[in-house]
Amino acid sequence: MRLEGRVGIVTASAGAGIGQATAWALAREGAKVVVSDIHERRTNEVTQSLKANGHEAIGVVCDVSRWDQVESMVQRTLDAFGRVDILVNNAAREIIAPIVDTTEENWDLIMDVCLKGTFLCTKAVLPTMIAQKSGAIVNMASVDAYIGNPIGECAYCSAKAGITGLTRVTAAEGAPHGIRANAIAPGVVPNPYLEKVYPKEALQSMVNMSLWKKGARPEEIASIVVFLASDEASYITGVVINASAGMHWSP
């Protein structure tokens, strides 16, 4: 198992998408997993399911846009497992509206969850990772950071572009301490949340932009997270991996 004995925090990991798939993927590779999500019931359900299948896990309800809650999440991780080896910043929000109809409130909400949340969680784990002289941070960006999706995602595209920049800065600051930071830019990963956010026709048009004319399964993205968190990626840092089946070839 590639991650045996390591401890990983996965934000927004109680839903039916990339986050939960990542929590399971890390656990199957031997990691102790912190299931973090804003939804208490789902957090408890996923945590109990992991434990029932023989994995070590704790659940922590956390709003990643709140420093006090993020700080508490990391402290609970340290209390339970004594270290943090992996952070997967997966939490996100999407609201579809053109620029002229995007309210300041909605802009702030998306920035707070996507970009500020990634910053706060990174800030919270870095002191422990620096003390350990090791750590792997994987941020969930998006192909939308590059293609500027025209269906009305100005705040989301901007936040995800910000994550790519934050990833590179984290890699630069973490390098002297043995800490790696990378990001993944998925294309469309169909799940119940996206089906609520996007009109059906818009979601299908995005899927059709890929070379394979289909969306990714959450498990396909989770497998990239496992790779980036493992020693197999020991010489990879500051990179954004495009996982969109050719929707856009990132630099």
Catalytic pick among 156, 193, 198, 235: 156
Sheet architecture: strand order including 86-89: 57-61, 32-37, 7-11, 86-89, 135-140, 179-186, 240-243
Place of tokens 């990691």: 31
| Residue 9, both tokens | 């925090």
197 and 156 in contact (C-beta within 8 Å)? no
14 and 33 in contact (C-beta within 8 Å)? no
- Tell me whether residue 156 is one of the annotated catalytic residues: yes
Rounded to whole angstroms, the Cα distance separating 14 from 238 reads: 27
- Return the active site residues: 156
